[in-house]
Chain A
Amino acid sequence: MRSDPRHRLTRRAFVKGTAALSAATALDLLQAPPGDALHPGTAAPGAGTTAGPLSAQAKFSGKLSAWGVVSFTKEGDALLGQQMAEWGRQHNVQVEYSPLPGSDYFAKVAAAVEAGALPDVVMMLGDQTIFYATQGKLVDLTDVFNEVKTLAGGMYKTLLPYVTVNGKTYAIPMEADVTVMYARLDLCEKVTGKREPPATLDALEEIARKVQSPPTLYGIGLPIGRTPDTTGNLTLMIYADGGTLVDGHGRPHLENAGVISALTRAKRWWTDKLIQPDSPSADDAWNNNAYQSHRAAFVFNPASIFAWLEKNDQDLLKMTAQAPFPKGKAGVSAQQAGTWSWAVSATSKNVAAAKALIKDIMQPKGLEAVYEKVGGRWYPVYKDLSRADFWKKRPFFDLFPGIIEHARPDWYPAPAVPQLLTQLSAARQKFVLADMVQDVCLNGRSPEAAAKAAQVRMEQAFQEALRK
């Protein structure tokens, strides 16, 4: 049986096909970043720095997938997805953005990294960037950062340690995460006669004692469960009382006067029932729930509470102030700010397009539109954006720029080196601080003994992080 002559493989057709394939492969090798082309899936940090120009004229093709954590609103997610898709349409790239549940985001990213299946563009939370960049899982985005860092008044410098390894930027901060005190002004007014939040932890305690009426209202919504909020809240209390988590060399340093003072304070609040009795089983939503259900006069949390109040409870919002964390014994008002950022996977086959996409969605105008749709939960990373109408109309956020500028990170007073950030992350995952405060409040240990035991646990966590 003779085959169809249209499908017959002739010598000429074979040579033509081989030549075309070779040309295409060569072109692909020239366009792709060295790490990707020569060692797919194993690109080292720095791969992609020579990926080509990020200019608008650059030609792209293929597909890009992006993962992020769901924002506070569906509209915010939708707009972000539209912006990416629109960029893709303009540049002949099919872009798909998937907003994913935040509760299990770390597990999903970890599994994808292990499987070499991380999407091209991926949102990194907090110091996740450092963790993966030091393992060579992310592409160096210093070139992108250099192009966006001065836009709209420039980016807040305090956010950069979360995305920088050995002077290279591995992710571009896209929102600032600020922790503040939520205070019931009506209750403050009852005690002090002034509609002002307390400026010190002692004043806060005094108001809390006078206004609370358990079980319907407790003074302080301080979580002491094994949850990130406990770690964050206790760290701020330690700073306010003059303590630190590490010393100047980045070594664990929990046996200090500030830690003892903060633990003594927490124990007093717990013993005197200023804190809800279910606090030891708190999860990350516990203090949100406590404040939103009018069961706590004061809580410390990021802006998610504001976003919820604005949408669902205007009456409570009118009685609420977002204020800096009160000063403690040391007279210090310690503040916290973190960031979520965009990174590019080292396994991406379309690094140049991924970089260009990030550069596009980091343009201030589009970014501000997303912030507004998200309803205040994501705060601008560019300084001038905080002067946009949306933020001006919400005086609640007036203090945010100052907090971000003066935020004190976990590694204070040591310099931000990737190894220390990874070690601190390991200690956080083991809930060393939460266990310490539970030792004092629930197990009857003295603050000194609890700090000593926590010091040992933290040293172990640091050692284990080094071994990994």
Chain B
Amino acid sequence: MTPGPRGARRLDRYAPPAPARASRRWRNSLRTTVLAGGLAIFTVWTLFPFVWVLETSLKSNRDIFQEVTLVPRHVTLQHYTALFHQSEFLTYFKNSAIVAVSTTVIAMLVGVLAAYAITRLSFRGRAFIGNATIVTYLAPPALLFIPLFQVAYQFHLTDRALGLIPIYLIFSAPFCTWLAITYFRTIPSELEDAALVDGATRLRSLVSIFLPLSLPALAVIALFAFTNAWNEFLFALLLIARDSQKTVPVGLAQFIIGDVFQWGPLMAGALVASLPPVLIYTVAQRWVVAGLASGATKG
């Protein structure tokens, strides 16, 4: 209902005078402009490397070295052809997918069960185990690579892509556990108590109460575990020699031959390899943002 003339006059009494309104409008538009400008700069800053990678992958070798442009003068798909037809890129991609997905699933399974036990069950050494998980994660991989190489060799895990999964779990599982612990602590114990009173088992309580409530956290955990396993280079390089078992990061490194960088196929491969994480982030964005935000406020 629109106010009548009397009502309008009454409302006008509370409205700021015209110069103040103009000033507020000006301030608002300035704020919008600054925000939009900031976002534009941030977007360009973020997207520039991707644009550079894309345009490099579409240039000929000669143009890569001679043309410093954002838009290629002559577009060529030769590097993508080389990538898919003259290298084992699809094999590397398949290996990376198997390793990253398996690592993620196992790390989540281990992490969730461990976090549940640490946060909800009473047993001696619970606090110590909880703290020890993060200490394990903090050990720099560069220090561990020779001992881990020896362990992997003794267990016949070298030279096979699947052998990377237990190695990656050494780093992923503690991290997932730690993240899950942080989140599970924010879930009120009354919810679980109610379920237990109603006759639910611990496992039922975990599946029906904890996991649905933890979806945002689980999305974040999965993304971190997947991205880490997908991008990992050092251990994949050390443990794998056979071409048929290499993952994408090590496979792409073969385009660096001593002092010669084959930028075209390298960029084409990097672009294709970045698609799965980008795709997963895009799909899971809603949960990820919720997970990160809830971690920030509740943790």
Q: Mark A34-59, 1 if CB is under 8 A from B, else 0.
A: 00000000000000000000000000
Q: A412 to chain B: closest CB distance in Å?
A: 24
Tell which of B87, B153, B237 touches A108, judged by Cβ atoms closer than 8 Å. Answer: B237
User: Contacts A96-B242, A98-B242, A111-B145 known; A304 to B260 CB distance under 8 Å?
Assistant: yes
Q: Provide the residues of chain A in CB contact with B259, threshold 8 Å.
A: 229, 284-285, 287-288, 301-302, 304
A229 and chain B: residue at smallest CB distance = B259
Q: Provide the residues of chain B in CB contact with A100, threshold 8 Å.
A: 241, 254
Docked complex: A281-312 residues within 8 A CB-CB of B: 284-285, 287-289, 292-294, 301-302, 304, 307-308, 311-312
B256 close to chain A: CB less than 8 A? yes
Question: In the bound complex, how far is the Cα of B250 from the Cα of A308, in angstroms?
Answer: 23
Q: Provide the residues of chain A in CB contact with B60, threshold 8 Å.
A: 312
B285 close to chain A: CB less than 8 A? no
Q: B93 to chain A: closest CB distance in Å?
A: 17
User: Contacts A288-B259, A304-B260, A312-B62 known; A116 to B153 CB distance under 8 Å?
Assistant: yes
Docked complex: A357-399 residues within 8 A CB-CB of B: none
B68 and chain A: residue at smallest CB distance = A293
User: Contacts A115-B150, A293-B65, A304-B260 known; A99 to B242 CB distance under 8 Å?
Assistant: no
B40 close to chain A: CB less than 8 A? no
Q: B221 to chain A: closest CB distance in Å?
A: 30
Q: B41 to chain A: closest CB distance in Å?
A: 25
B258 and chain A: residue at smallest CB distance = A102
Q: A45 to chain B: closest CB distance in Å?
A: 23
B154 and chain A: residue at smallest CB distance = A115
Tell which of B61, B149, B242, B258 touches A112, judged by Cβ atoms closer than 8 Å. Answer: B149
Q: Provide the residues of chain A in CB contact with B146, threshold 8 Å.
A: 110-111, 114-115
B232 close to chain A: CB less than 8 A? no
Tell which of A107, A119, A307 touches B241, judged by Cβ atoms closer than 8 Å. Answer: A119
B1 close to chain A: CB less than 8 A? no
- Tally B residues with Cβ within 8 Å of A: 27
Q: Is the CB of B149 within 8 A of A115?
A: yes
Question: In the bound complex, how far is the Cα of B260 from the Cα of A71, in angstroms?
Answer: 11
A114 and chain B: residue at smallest CB distance = B146
Q: Is the CB of A101 within 8 A of B253?
A: yes
Q: A118 to chain B: closest CB distance in Å?
A: 10
User: Contacts A101-B253, A103-B256 known; A108 to B238 CB distance under 8 Å?
Assistant: yes
B261 close to chain A: CB less than 8 A? yes
Question: In the bound complex, how far is the Cα of B238 from the Cα of A307, in angstroms?
Answer: 29
B177 close to chain A: CB less than 8 A? no
Q: Provide the residues of chain A in CB contact with B254, threshold 8 Å.
A: 70, 99-101
User: Contacts A111-B146, A308-B260 known; A101 to B237 CB distance under 8 Å?
Assistant: yes
Q: Name the prevailing secondary structure of the A interface residues.
A: mixed
A256 close to chain B: CB less than 8 A? no
Question: In the bound complex, how far is the Cα of B260 from the Cα of A74, in angstroms?
Answer: 14
A288 and chain B: residue at smallest CB distance = B259
Q: Provide the residues of chain B in CB contact with A319, threshold 8 Å.
A: none
Q: Is the CB of A104 within 8 A of B237?
A: yes
Tell which of A99, A112, A285, A313 touches B261, judged by Cβ atoms closer than 8 Å. Answer: A285
Question: In the bound complex, how far is the Cα of B62 from the Cα of A115, in angstroms?
Answer: 43
Docked complex: B144-178 residues within 8 A CB-CB of A: 145-146, 149-150, 153, 158
Q: Provide the residues of chain A in CB contact with B87, threshold 8 Å.
A: 74
Q: Provide the residues of chain B in CB contact with A110, threshold 8 Å.
A: 146
A60 close to chain B: CB less than 8 A? no
Question: In the bound complex, how far is the Cα of B204 from the Cα of A329, in angstroms?
Answer: 85
B46 close to chain A: CB less than 8 A? no
Q: Provide the residues of chain A in CB contact with B256, threshold 8 Å.
A: 101-103
Q: Provide the residues of chain B in CB contact with A293, threshold 8 Å.
A: 65-66
Q: Mark B66-94, 1 if CB is under 8 A from A, else 0.
A: 10000000000000000000110000000
Q: B152 to chain A: closest CB distance in Å?
A: 8
Q: A47 to chain B: closest CB distance in Å?
A: 21
Q: Is the CB of A71 within 8 A of B257?
A: yes
A67 close to chain B: CB less than 8 A? yes
Q: Is the CB of B158 within 8 A of A285?
A: no
Q: B264 to chain A: closest CB distance in Å?
A: 10
Q: Provide the residues of chain A in CB contact with B243, threshold 8 Å.
A: 98-99
Q: Which B residues fall within an 8 A CB radius of A?
A: 60-62, 65-66, 86-87, 145-146, 149-150, 153, 158, 237-238, 241-243, 250, 253-254, 256-261
16 further contact pairs, Cβ within 8 A, besides A107-B238, A117-B149: A69-B257, A69-B258, A70-B257, A98-B243, A100-B241, A101-B253, A104-B253, A108-B237, A108-B241, A111-B145, A117-B158, A289-B261, A302-B259, A304-B257, A304-B259, A313-B62
Report the 8 A-B pairs with minimum CB-CB distance, sorted nearest first. Answer: A101-B253, A98-B241, A293-B65, A312-B61, A284-B259, A115-B150, A117-B153, A115-B149
